[in-house]
């Protein structure tokens, strides 16, 4: 019998006879041994289990103020910083205070907001991201305004003074 399963957002798969199995971070060979051990004796006399990883569905989306927005494969354990690094990092206009990770859990759409600067400083752990997550790095309007003012200053003959709130 051949069965195709997808690893869920929590890194788990569900099998009829075994229930939920943690697949995150395991190689196909490790997962095969785990399933074989679970089936042996209780349900199947001599189980033959082969696991093949199909990574075509294991992608995340990185969008917004990153240098190369797009779809990226999830290879092993993926974190927020690794996902953003896959997209060649953030742009000069990125708001790294608020990076949003959108995730569907069951039938509910969830969103988590992370301070990438705090993660980089080690103030809290780099959060793990999962297959089908959408990571959005927002725009920092103040940085964009300052850049516009600096670019426009070349056109002025006198000094430029800006008052920012």
Residue 1 placed within a domain: no
Which range has the worst mean pLDDT, 71-80, 110-119, 139-148, 150-159? 150-159
Q: Are residues 83 and 135 in the same domain?
A: yes
For Cα atoms 109, 111, 113, give the angle at the middle one, nearest 5 degrees.
Answer: 180
Total number of domains constituting the chain: 2
Strand partners, 20: 14
Residue 163 placed within a domain: no
Q: How confident is the model at residue 5 (pLDDT cuts 50, 70, 90)?
A: confident
The rounded percent of the chain whose pLDDT value lies above 70 is: 86
Across all residues in the chain, what is the average pLDDT?
84
Q: Are residues 97 and 124 in the same domain?
A: yes
Residue range 33-82, pLDDT digits in tens: 998 888 887 778 888 888 887 755 678 999 999 999 999 988 778 999 99
Residue 16: give the domain boundaries: 12-53
21 token code pair: 């199995």
Cα dist from 126 to 8, 20, 94, 121, 156, whole Å = 20, 26, 18, 10, 45
Q: Are residues 24 and 85 in the same domain?
A: no
CATH of the domain at 69: 3.10.560.10
Q: Are residues 107 and 83 in the same domain?
A: yes
Highest-confidence range of 28-37, 78-87, 99-108, by mean pLDDT? 78-87
3-class SS at 10?
Answer: coil
Cα dist from 37 to 2, 21, 31, 48, 67, whole Å = 18, 12, 10, 10, 45
Q: Is the pTM of this model over 0.75?
A: no
């Amino acid at each position: 019998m051949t069965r195709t399963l997808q690893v869920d957002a929590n890194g788990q798969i569900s099998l009829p006879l075994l229930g939920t199995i943690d697949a995150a971070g395991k190689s196909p060979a490790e997962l095969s041994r785990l399933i074989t051990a679970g089936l042996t004796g209780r349900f199947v006399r001599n189980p033959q289990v082969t696991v093949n990883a199909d990574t075509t569905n294991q992608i995340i989306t990185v969008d917004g103020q990153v240098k190369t927005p797009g779809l990226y494969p999830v290879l092993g354990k993926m974190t927020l910083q690794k996902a953003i690094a896959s997209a060649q990092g953030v742009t000069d206009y990125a708001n790294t205070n608020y990076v949003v990770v959108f995730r569907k859990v069951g039938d509910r759409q969830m969103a988590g907001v992370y301070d990438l600067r705090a993660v980089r400083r080690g103030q809290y752990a780099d959060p793990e991201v999962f297959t089908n997550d959408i990571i959005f790095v927002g725009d920092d309007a103040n940085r964009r305004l300052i850049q516009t003012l600096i670019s426009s200053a070349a056109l002025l003959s006198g000094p430029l003074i800006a008052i920012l709130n």
